[in-house]
Structure 1
Amino acid sequence: MSARVTSRGTAAGLLALALVTSLSACSNGSSDDSASGGEGSSSLTLWDPYPQFDESDAWPQLVQKCGEENGVTIERTGYDTTDLTNQVLRAAQQGNAPSVLVVDNPVVSTLADGGVLADNDTTGLDASGVEDNILAAGEVDGQTYGVPIGANTLALYYNKTVLSAAGVDPSTITDWDSLTDALQKVEDSGKNGITFSAIGTEEGSFQFLPWFWGSGAELTDLASSDAQSALSLWSGWVQQGLAPQTVISNNQQSAWEEFLTGDYGFVENGTWQLGPVKESGLDWGVIPIPGRDGGTAPAPTGGEFVTIPTQADTASYDKSAAVVQCLTSADNALETDTTLSYVSALADVQEQQVSADADLQPWVEAVSAARGRTSDGLGTDYPGISEQLWNAVQAALSGSQSPQAALEAAQQAAGSN
């Protein structure tokens, strides 16, 4: 995962989320119309997690276009995701939150719970047409906050040259057993089976979740027999040499770099690597992550929501909402999602994306099966559960605990938080 997408797709900003619990409707807005975008204001502030883009790039140009179309000048600031979370928390406490906030989707529920974000009924935002599973990350207690700008997720890239030499037909990989058989064939041919990220951070949980959910497990019961089967799969691969010991310390980018050596049959990675793999010189393909007994495993959604922070001057919401609708509209989504390496949150735009680039088809399928990390009513409970999950993965893959013991300890710790 690139540095740009790592911070977004894996919610590195969750490290700061504990601070939000002390914020209870504390975003009072600014009394200065020029800062808050109140009635009569000619400017709005927008913060996003894309510091790598400058005025020559498509995203900032779209931001300015949406401002011009709605009669406002937009003052845009890009932060790294962790910095963005911290900055918006401080701003909310001080009453000068930005007019528009583009934020990593797992952060939405926590900011909403802390009163930092205004709901769509209040602001007038319209999220109709958005795929339900993508929108779910922004739904909290019956209210929706913001509009998703797009989504990314995980699948399995494979090296066609390696698989061909091992006698593996990727179309026959339909479940965990057939995947493990394929990894063994690759290993027997003198190459390495699969690499992934099992690091002790949100990236590790992000990468484990397709296997966890693909077993039928739920995050409300980390120690279930289904969950144990998923962790046993990963730990078994490491113990058998089908996955390297480096997965314990790999982040998503380092796992990707291992795959680019040409020595691996598979890597678990995301939509954001589609451009780089095309430039890599590898003969490659993509398949969805299989469920234990078949089908496509639900992978977690990455990506941002465009939201409106709570303001004291509620007259500002009309202009902010107009800008958000412009940024997320079907007319602009194709260019925006291409720029951000996202699958669109809109089905019609997804079809346009596949027409323009057939390599996106498996990613559209993967996003359609994906789940929000804070969905299923988890909301602000997710960060604590995720931390215990990655701790269990680390313990099992290092051999310090069995999968069963590691997950039982994780469930006990998560339940006591």
Structure 2
Amino acid sequence: MIASQRIRIVGAAVLAAATIGGLAACSSSPSSSQTGSAGGTYTFWDPYPQFDASADWTKLVEQCGKDAGVTVTRTGYDTSALTNKALLAGQQGSSPDLLLVDNPVVSTLADAGILTTTDENKLDVSAIQKNIIGAGQINGKTYGVPIGANTLALYYNKKVLAAAGVDIATVKDWATLTDALAKVTAAGKKGITFSAIGTEEGSFQFLPWFWGSGANLTQLDSAKAQQALSLWTDWVKKGYAPQSVINNTQTTSWQEFATGDYAFGENGTWQLGNVKKAGIDYGILNIPGIDGGSAPAPTGGEFMTIPVQKDTARYATSKKIAECLTSTKSFVTTDNTLSYIAPTAEAQKEQVAANAELQPWVDAVAAAKGRTSDNLGIKYPKISQQLWTAVQTALSGSQTPEAALKAAQTAAAAATK
């Protein structure tokens, strides 16, 4: 995902808590009530306003419509606007025929009764990796097909590590990573940079460490969660991570790593192009769990969904368009363009065959986890807000990790009753 598109990867979850009253100011959406089984026009909304009529993505959408015997009218919205418009259109009975949304938004729209299930629309998800499809599942029902996924890992600077005498092969868990940071800072370089800003981005970046400790989002103040937050807090106190992480977005964090002074930078698949532009001799390391192995990092990426229509005859053609857009051929084309990893093993093999540098990201996605998984659904944004608040409070020194997380758990429990 290119840097200018980062916000749609992780920003949409906050909108799950939007009230219906707050949506009343949105303009009404175009109707998709044209009759549907043969010919006609089908509407498709996605979170890619940066793609105009000449873009490959737009051409693919239009071609899939032609293959299904219809004309597809595509409109791209910013993620925030898309979620609000989708909710309002669903209330008004004027939803688009197809809707591509950031994965945390799926539970919001499903809870509002706006989306059909794959049992209803007959989309086949059997080949999709279970951890990726999990972001679109609520109470045993599946509400769409992921077009791809991205996630987080640690970019590392080989030159900085070599100068500090650090062998990356020895970095296997939190202890060995912290040892590496100590050596790097002792050698006069900088350790690690990440985003701990007080928004969904902060939660997104903290989750691999939170989950990597064995903690669960239903219990923010567990001993394991405290270990995760203490890790970050200690890094900042010791100078292994800069104070700027408190205000860093993923973009500004990346800019720090791109200076070439840092040993590690936590960031996503979407920075692959940028790391090459920076001229850094880099490698990719899966974020380690507390005792080793790959920590589950959160998945980003969108789901292809079919909203509820008054004219149910339209579903058959919408299914054809969706199947075209989520075929192996389309997965590879689209996911390479968007810096995504495909959600099926077959398409992933094609991606890696064409670009071996994607293999670490395929591994990272395999270990990843949806933010709304564990059947959290619309509870996730409320929990996430308390999590990023705790991170901010602890890193600023206002409270200990233990006190910050206890306050977060109390607030989250009250918000999700």
Aligned mates of 2:251, 2:314 — CA distance in 1: 40
For residues 278-315 of structure 1, the C-alpha deviation after alignment (integer angstroms, 9 at most, x for no partner) is 22211111100000000000000000000011111111
Structure 1 residue 369: deviation in Å? 0.4
CA, structure 1 residues 233+55, in 2 after alignment: closer, same or farther (shift >3 Å)? same
| Contact 2:3 2:271 (C-alpha < 8 Å) held by counterparts | no
Q: Of 162, 165, 172, which residue of structure 2 is paired with 1:164?
A: 162
Secondary structure of 2:18's counterpart equals helix
Q: What is the TM-score with the length of structure 1 in the denominator? A: 0.95
CA contact (8 A) 1:20 1:114 kept: no
CA distance 1:59–1:398, change in 2 (3 Å)? same
Partner Cα separation in structure 1 for residue 382 and residue 6 of structure 2: 20
Q: Counterpart of 1:219?
A: 217
Give the structure 2 partner of residue 26 of structure 1.
Answer: none
2:172 maps to a residue whose letter is T
Give the RMSD, CA atoms, in angstroms: 1.7
Deviation track 1:144-178 (CA, whole Å, cap 9, x = no partner) reads 10100000000000111111111111111000000
Contact 1:30 1:313 in 2 (8 A): no
Detail structure 1 runs of 4+ shifted over 3 Å in the superposition.
1-5, 20-23, 29-33
Distance 1:220 1:373, change over 3 A: same
Say whether the 8 Å CA contact 1:154–1:270 is kept in structure 2: yes
| d(CA) in 2 for partners of 1:19, 1:360 | 40
* Residue 258 of structure 1: aligned partner: 256
Matches within 5 A, 1:382-397: 382-397=380-395
Q: What residue number does 1:361 align with?
A: 359
Secondary structure at the aligned position of 1:150 is classed as coil
Q: Is 2:47–2:78's contact at 8 Å kept on the other side of the alignment?
A: yes
Distance 1:328 1:240, change over 3 A: same
Paired residue for 2:7?
Answer: 7
Distance 2:225 2:37 in 1: 53
1:75 is paired with a residue of what secondary structure? strand
Alignment partners' CA distance in 2, 1:45 and 1:13: 24
2-structure distance, mates of 1:207, 1:377: 21
Map 1:112-151 onto structure 2 (within 5 A): 112-151=110-149
Describe the shift of the 1:327–1:4 C-alpha distance in structure 2 as closer, same or farther (beyond 3 A): farther
Structure 2 length normalisation: TM-score?
0.95
**Deviation, structure 1 residue 110:** 1.3
User: Is contact 1:7-1:13 (8 Å) kept?
Assistant: no
Q: In structure 2, what is the Cα distance between the partners aligned to 1:346 and 1:8?
A: 22
**2: CA distance between counterparts of 1:31 and 1:253?**
37
Q: Is the 8 A contact 1:31 1:313 kept in 2?
A: no
Query: Following the alignment from structure 1 to structure 2, what is the Cα–Cα distance between the partners of residues 30 and 144?
Result: 26
SS at match of 2:123: coil
Match of 1:381 in 2: 379
CA shift in 2, pair 1:20/1:210, >3 Å: farther
Q: Residue 30 of structure 1 contacts residue 312 of structure 1 at CA under 8 Å; is this kept in 2?
A: no
Counterparts in 2 of 1:175 and 1:81: CA distance versus 1, 3 Å: same
Deviation at 1:118, TM superposition (A): 1.0
Letter in 1 for 2:358: L
Deviation at residue 322 of structure 1 after TM alignment: 0.7
Q: Can you list the C-alpha shifts for 1:52-108, whole angstroms capped at 9, x where unaligned? A: 112222211110110110011110001111111111112112221111000000110
The one-letter amino acid paired with 1:357 is N
Partners of 1:74 and 1:368 in 2: how far apart? 33
Query: Partners of 1:301 and 1:56 in 2: how far apart?
Result: 29
**Structure 1 residue 268: Cα displacement:** 0.2
Aligned partner of 2:86 among 88, 103, 106: 88
Q: Distance in 1 between matches of 2:161 and 2:406?
A: 37
- How far did 1:195 drift? 0.3
Change (3 A) 1:179 1:21: farther
Secondary structure of the residue that 1:267 maps to in structure 2?
strand
**How far did residue 377 of structure 1 move?**
1.1
Quote the residue 1:111 is aligned against. 109
Q: Equivalent residues in 2 for 1:11-410 (5 A)?
A: 11-12=11-12, 14-15=14-15, 17-19=17-19, 33-34=33-34, 38-410=36-408
Letter in 2 for 1:327: L
Contact map agreement 2:38 2:69 (CA 8 A) in 1: no
Task: Using the aligned pairs only, state the percent identity.
Answer: 61
The AA in structure 2 aligned to 1:344 is A
Q: Secondary structure at the match of 2:217?
A: coil
Once residues 105 and 135 of structure 2 are traced to their aligned partners in structure 1, the CA distance between those partners, rounded to angstroms, is 9
Higher deviation after alignment, 179-188 or 48-57: 48-57
Q: Which residue of 1 aligns with 2:410?
A: 412
Equivalent residues of 2:32, 2:95 under 8 A apart = no
Aligned to 1:45, the other structure's residue is in SS state strand
